[in-house]
């Protein structure tokens, strides 16, 4: 029996999102081409001068160049106007034209206002941001633009990218075999895991819940392998998504788990925007908001397993004032300390995002989220 609330994502919605991703990739390609042109224009100008010289010499040789002169003529036999950029445009491969217009990708952002509070010692965390998602404003912040390691908060982007690349909702019923490379990766890197075993056949749906609720690296890598064939290929999709969200200037990921790497980073503001995008995705919203999930019986766990989101289980006992906490994802590595990304809503259903980093303990991290919601959600 499925004890989760049903979620629905229509094929029209998935088509719209695919169109957005295509538009974003083509926009990046156009920018890349422009950068290439700017670098090569001086070379092209020199080539054009040499080409003109050769043409003049052929004309002086008694018209032997007449056959080629037409190549440099425009309409009505007039000389064509050429530039370095036009020459290079002709040389570079041209992208296919869109058969139909596609919508522009959504850019997630929130602005500092005159009312934005700068936080100090009233919270333990060294980094924090509180965002009013409905009004796209930052209510409070503390070093919100400082680059940090996001630890397991990374997995919010993991499930978002995986959800957007599912072929259909039926794909959630597919099974993935947990192989030795996955369990070994988790063991060598001392990752938190769901507890899947070698050769266990796990549904894609359970991989989603396993990635967020117990922060299972085995589930995250299994999901990455299913979507992209390897974690490396999946990470490319993650960084494409960061660029699509407008966050690539300050965010870059090297793995889907949250392991420390000097090239794996973002800001707490970036993570707030990632969480907002995830909450706009029906599947991700369902997964992130779930407190307890019962996995399907598998060949090696015939009775299934019970997965719990301990952030949600612990914060539900706290008084967060007017805020009702909807979901959250914690993280920890030595370099980032205790961190968490959570979301809540007020009585009118307006969404708020809170992200903190480098608290002294998991209890202090959670206390900061409670205090920030109490202070800024009315």
Q: Is the pLDDT of residue 141 over 70?
A: yes
| In the chain, ranges of CATH 3.40.710.10 domains | 111-376
pLDDT in tens, 310-327: 899 889 889 999 999 999
Q: Is the pLDDT of residue 95 over 90?
A: no
SS3 377: coil
How many residues belong to the chain?
A: 378
pLDDT in tens, 325-349: 999 999 999 999 999 999 999 999 9
**Residues in a beta bridge with 330:** 340
Q: What is the pLDDT of residue 265?
A: 98
| Measured CA angle at 305 (ends 302, 308), to 5 deg | 170
Q: Between β-strands 175-178 and 351-359, what pairing exists: parallel, antiparallel or unpaired? A: unpaired
State how far the alpha carbon of 320 is from the alpha carbons of 134, 301, 346, in Å.
19, 37, 10
SS3 73: strand
Write out the two tokens for 313: 């289980």
* The model's pTM: 0.75
Q: Is the pLDDT of residue 5 over 50?
A: no
Q: What is the pLDDT of residue 238?
A: 98
Q: Would you place residue 49 in the very low, low, confident or very high pLDDT band (cuts 50, 70, 90)? A: low
What is the average pLDDT score of the chain?
85
Least confident of 81-95, 170-184, 211-225: 81-95
Rounded Cα distance between 63 and 201, Å, is: 76
CATH superfamily, region 111-376: DD-peptidase/beta-lactamase superfamily (3.40.710.10)
pLDDT in tens, 51-89: 666 665 666 665 444 444 444 455 555 555 545 555 555
Short-list 167, 152, 268, CA closest to 221: 152
Question: For 304, how many CA atoms within 13 A lie in the half-sphere containing its CB?
Answer: 15
Assess contact for 312 and 292: CB atoms under 8 A. Answer: no
Assess contact for 193 and 257: CB atoms under 8 A. Answer: no
pLDDT in tens, 246-302: 999 999 999 999 999 999 999 999 999 999 999 999 999 999 999 999 999 999 999
pLDDT in tens, 121-138: 999 999 999 999 999 999
Short-list 274, 233, 245, CA closest to 17: 245
Higher pLDDT, 166 or 100: 166
Rounded Cα distance between 271 and 253, Å, is: 12
Rounded Cα distance between 359 and 37, Å, is: 47
Stated as kind and residue range, the H or E segment containing 111 is strand 111-118
């Amino acid at each position: 029996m499925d004890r989760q609330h049903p979620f629905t994502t229509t094929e029209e919605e998935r088509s719209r999102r695919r169109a957005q991703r295509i538009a974003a990739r083509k926009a990046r390609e156009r920018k890349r081409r422009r950068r290439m042109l700017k670098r090569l224009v001086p070379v092209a100008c020199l080539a054009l001068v040499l080409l003109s010289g050769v043409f003049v010499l052929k004309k002086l040789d008694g018209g032997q160049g007449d056959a080629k002169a037409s190549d440099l003529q425009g309409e009505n036999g007039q000389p064509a106007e050429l530039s370095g950029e036009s020459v290079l445009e002709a040389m570079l491969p041209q992208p296919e034209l869109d058969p139909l217009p596609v919508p522009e990708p959504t850019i997630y952002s929130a602005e500092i206002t005159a009312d934005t509070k700068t936080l100090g010692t009233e919270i333990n965390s060294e980094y924090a941001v509180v965002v009013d998602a409905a009004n796209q404003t930052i209510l409070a912040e503390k070093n919100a633009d400082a680059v940090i390691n996001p630890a397991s908060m990374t997995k919010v982007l993991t499930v978002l990218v995986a959800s957007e690349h599912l072929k259909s909702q039926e794909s959630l019923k597919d099974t993935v075999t947990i192989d030795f490379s996955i369990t070994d990766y988790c063991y060598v890197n001392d990752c938190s895991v769901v507890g899947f075993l070698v050769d266990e056949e796990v549904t894609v749906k359970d991989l989603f819940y396993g990635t967020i609720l117990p922060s299972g690296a085995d589930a995250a890598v299994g999901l990455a392998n299913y979507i992209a064939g390897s974690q490396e290929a999946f990470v490319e999709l993650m960084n494409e998504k960061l660029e699509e969200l407008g966050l690539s200037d300050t965010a870059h990921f090297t793995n889907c788990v949250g392991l420390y790497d000097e090239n794996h980073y973002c800001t707490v503001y970036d993570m707030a925007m990632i969480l907002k995008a995830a909450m706009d995705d029906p599947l991700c919203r369902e997964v992130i908001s779930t407190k307890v999930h019962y996995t399907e019986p598998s060949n090696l766990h015939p009775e299934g397993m019970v997965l719990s989101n301990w952030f949600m289980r612990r914060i539900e006992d706290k008084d967060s004032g007017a805020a009702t906490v909807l979901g959250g994802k914690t993280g920890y590595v030595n370099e980032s300390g205790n961190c968490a990304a959570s979301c809540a809503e007020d009585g009118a259903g307006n969404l708020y995002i809170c992200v903190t980093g480098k608290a002294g303990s998991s209890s202090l991290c959670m206390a900061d989220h409670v205090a920030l919601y109490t202070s800024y959600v009315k």
